[in-house]
Amino acid sequence: MRSRPDRSAEDSTAAGTGDGVRWVLDQKESDVSIKQRPHDADGARQVDVVVGIDSARMLDRGQRVRLGDQLYGQIFDRIASGDLNVGDKLPSEHEICEQFGVSRPVVREALLRLRADGLVSAYQGLGTFVIHQPAPRLKTFGDVQNVGAYLRAQEVRVALEGDAARLAALRRTDEQLKRIVEAHKAFADGLAQGQVSAQLDLAFHASIAEASGNDFFPGVLETIHESIQGFMRLSLNLTRTGSRQRAERVMDEHASILAAIREQDGERARTAMQFHLGQARHRLVDRERD
């Protein structure tokens, strides 16, 4: 089943391609110029980052990607690449509208999501400034333009997979627990060998959704499968090329989920899953967590 997201008059949504493990397991399947203003009264120097109109790529309404996600992706791309650095000021909403050919609601949606993801912060009377950056190597993995959709899917996962883990802890059979354990071991072995893939990560999460005893969990997650797999590809590439500590944190989080399910502690399983998904989200957008 492919994703069929909602559409609006100005937005349309991305659909990707994906192979390997699915959620339903029984199927087996830059031209940026910087103007420095004089020091303010408090001694702080205000910096404006002005994205030239010639460097801004007009958003494509023909793409099957929401305009808000396209704009988010372009700004995220500039932050990730270092064209916009911590402390730099974004153009005003009006300037962004002009540069990218979109309406103000689209700009506000993108900026709100950038703030929610901890990348920028708005200051009354001053504007919006970059406060965090992803790891620079994120740019080398591609798919960065789709990160807005990936992070929206991650929000859905926190709610759905948290409760799926809780129910899996309470309802899982011995055979289902065995599949979760096997998926965990396969992921751990792949990570240790530097060959971990989105399919291995997906198999662990899908085995938990199946063990919930409610077919709606794997069914609903299947509808956003492509965005979930895209998020996993980016996140795992960062983990594979990052510090050993980063990989160990991922494994510890998986192990905590498994332990709670094995011990049939529903609330601990839900908390462990939601913590893991939240940390994965933070690791993607903040290089300080690398």
Ordered per-residue pLDDT tens for the chain, 290 residues:
444 444 333 443 333 334 455 555 443 333 333 333 333 434 443 444 444 333 455 555 555 567 888 899 889 888 988 899 999 999 999 999 999 999 999 999 999 999 988 899 999 999 999 998 888 777 777 666 778 888 889 999 999 999 999 999 999 999 999 999 999 999 999 988 888 788 999 999 999 999 999 999 999 999 999 999 999 988 888 888 878 888 899 999 999 999 999 999 999 999 999 999 999 998 888 876 65
Residues 182 and 238 in one domain: yes
Tokens at 66, concatenated: 């929401």
- Tell me if 39 is assigned to some domain: no
Residues 120 and 233 in one domain: no
Residues 123 and 160 in one domain: no
CA atoms of 169 and 198, how far apart (whole Å): 24
What CATH number should be reported for the domain holding residue 174? 1.20.120.530
CA 250 to chain centre: 15
pTM greater than the 0.85 cutoff: no
Residues 88 and 195 in one domain: no
Sign of CA dihedral 20, 21, 27, 28: positive
